[in-house]
Structure 1
Amino acid sequence: MNGIIIRVFAAGLFIAVAHALRCYKCDFGVGSLCLTGEMTCAAGEQCFSGKAEAVGFVPIKTKGCLKTDQCNKTSNTDIGSTNVTVYKGLKTCCNTDLCNAAPGASGLPLLPLLLASFTSLLMVSVAV
């Protein structure tokens, strides 16, 4: 009888450890617009929500999975080898399923708008 209890406990522990963390994913969002889906994190990763400002005033957001040692840190995103910072942002992590906020707008009609906005930002920052 004790062997059965131990096996059931071990199976439950294995299932709990093997459960992968699910997070919302948004590669690039501007303002409140973000094409959001879901993703599964690898071992050693947590969900994150990233907030930044491009060119000093355009709000940018990202979501997804991030290695735990990179959580809650501010980082710069530069253009190539020019050392021109496009944006500086903070990625805040959490560790429960879908904890990195509710999904944003979905659908492909916003993609061309986002790409055009990002291209404009890059052109402005290169020209400066």
Structure 2
Amino acid sequence: MSRPEPRPRSAYRAWRTIPTRWADNDAYGHVNNVVHYAWFDTAVNAWLVEAGLLDIAHGDPIGLVVETGCRYFAPLSFPESADVGIAVERLGSSSITYRLGIFAEGSDAAAAEGEFTHVYVDRASRRPKPLPQEWRAKLEILL
């Protein structure tokens, strides 16, 4: 079975640095795989808040995660910080698939890569809702 090579930092458009915590390490001494998913969620939602697209308490539409995935290439461990790169892989009418890379500080090769798909829905009905045009313009920066 062939394994894809990790993408370099240049494959990503926005960045979030996240410090590891002692509790992130598992019994094997490296950051547990479930922590990577929390970092994806944190990086994407922090970018959305900073871009003025996510109002957690009152915003409409809201993004629901419908699919995630991750490939691991190298371990990270406390007390390192991780740089999480964000790019948009696909911008649909009511969905966005983000491409994410987790890098050790100073490394050009991803320690892990993932995808994270949000479907945007009406807050009340939870039915898919087209992305507002002003959102699309901001999100295109990440393409």
**TM above 0.5, one fold?**
no
TM-score (norm 2): 0.26
For the pair shown, the structure with the greater C-alpha radius of gyration is 1
Whichever structure has more strand as a proportion of its residues is 1
Q: Highest relative contact order (Cα 8 Å, sep 6+), 1 or 2? A: 2
Whichever structure has more helix as a proportion of its residues is 1
TM-score (norm 1): 0.28
